[in-house]
Amino acid sequence: MEACKPILNTGLRGFTIASSRISDVDGDIGKIVYRGYLIQDLAQKASFEEVVYLLLFESLPGKAELQAFKEQLAAQRQLAPELIAALKTRPKDALPMDILQAGVALLAHHDPDTGDFTKASATRMGTRLIARFPSIMAAWDRIRNGKEPIAPKPELSHAANFLYMLSGKVPDEDVARFFDVCLTLHAEHTFNASTFAAREVASTRAHIYAATAAAVGSLSGELHGGANVRVMEMLLKIGSPERVEAYVNEQLNAGKLIFGLGHAVYKVDDPRALILAPMSKIMGERTGQPQWYEISTDLEKKAKKIFKDRKGIEIFTNVDFYSASLYYSMGIPMDFFTPVFALARISGWVAHVIEEQFAGAAEKPVLYRPESKYIGDYCGPDTCEFVDIEDR
């Protein structure tokens, strides 16, 4: 019998590599579920802390469980003085995602559980990571602007506390709730590039900090994270609704993209975008910047029509399209849009690392080890003859 040959599937698109109980995405109908719950229900009815609990422990918490978990997260927010001191030595123009990735490695140095390979220790480490991601980024923004980091407020929610540490002002209830919803919407999205990076590293039995650092590195690439930054840059360039149609035609004529439209998975509008859009409208009106939402809605409408008329294809709105104007209206620095993505997605990464290391051994090999197709033809079909250095 002829030996089985590996199937070349560039990018692993459409290739199932493992099973998971964490989330599911059906791009054909725009359906996202976390542990069986629709994203729309979680965004509308649950807090981010409830969603984190669901991702980590596979069920929604009761009142007492939620209160205890919120207190646990709040108690872990403070950064070690040594880490703050290290951040102060970094160049002020360092990329925020590089700072976050370095911060993950530094956090590992202060965690007593890194040498204990158990589910309980991984869960404790993961909870600390979820709690401290916002603290790292808020501290960095303060430091790079010549200010002292602000200590967390344990009485504030996860979302509100980050906005407080970033600006020094406690956000009002509506803004805190909007940001809480943003975190829920970005918390998890199956085997995306950064999650796969985390699981691949976790499959080697590396600790959760190593796996998370890999995920942050993956998210820093512009083909994964950063799309909403490009969306906001686009909105700023357009400037007013009157410029939208000309801009779309200019982009199409130049063979360029309209950022925030199109997705590798969705064949309909991303359900997360539908939740973010009305929040973007409200925040724009509240801050006296309604033009960013107005440009966005006009751009979405005109781009969809022009693409269909000129190219005969349908394009759909993704999560980045309205998160850009929403974050901008909240006063979040544009180069923090991707770190904010990470502040949410760390909860999904943690859940996946735990599942990879402690729940999936019976369903897949312990270690990811794909094959590659060698196409080197340096010496034709034969191997090259080694020539001593004196004769080269």
- The structural domains of the chain, ordered by start, are 29-223+335-358 (1.10.580.10), 227-329 (1.10.230.10)
pLDDT of residue 2: 43
**Distance set, CA 382 to CA 6, 385, 391 (Å):** 22, 9, 21
Closest CA to 134 of 105, 160, 98, 106: 160
Indicate which residue of 186, 207, 320, 352 is catalytic.
320
Helix axes 119-144 and 208-219, enclosed angle (nearest 10):
50
Q: What pLDDT, in 10s, does the model give residues 113-154?
A: 999 999 999 999 999 999 999 999 999 999 999 999 999 999
Reply yes or no on whether 24 is catalytic: no
Q: Give every residue of the chain whose pLDDT is below 50, as ranges.
A: 1-4
Q: Which two tokens stand for residue 332?
A: 């979040």
Question: Among residues 263, 269, 298, 352, which one is catalytic?
Answer: 263
* Distance in angstroms (rounded) separating the CA atoms of residues 70 and 72: 5
Q: Residues 6 or more apart from 69 whose CB is under 8 A from it? A: 49, 52, 53, 61
Give residue 265's pLDDT.
86
Structure-block tokens of residue 342: 């990470």
**Residue 158 is among the residues annotated as catalytic for this protein:** no
**Gap between the Cα atoms of 333 and 312, Å rounded:** 37
pLDDT computed for residue 365 by the predictor: 65
Q: What is the pLDDT of residue 3?
A: 45
Pair of tokens at residue 99: 């700072």
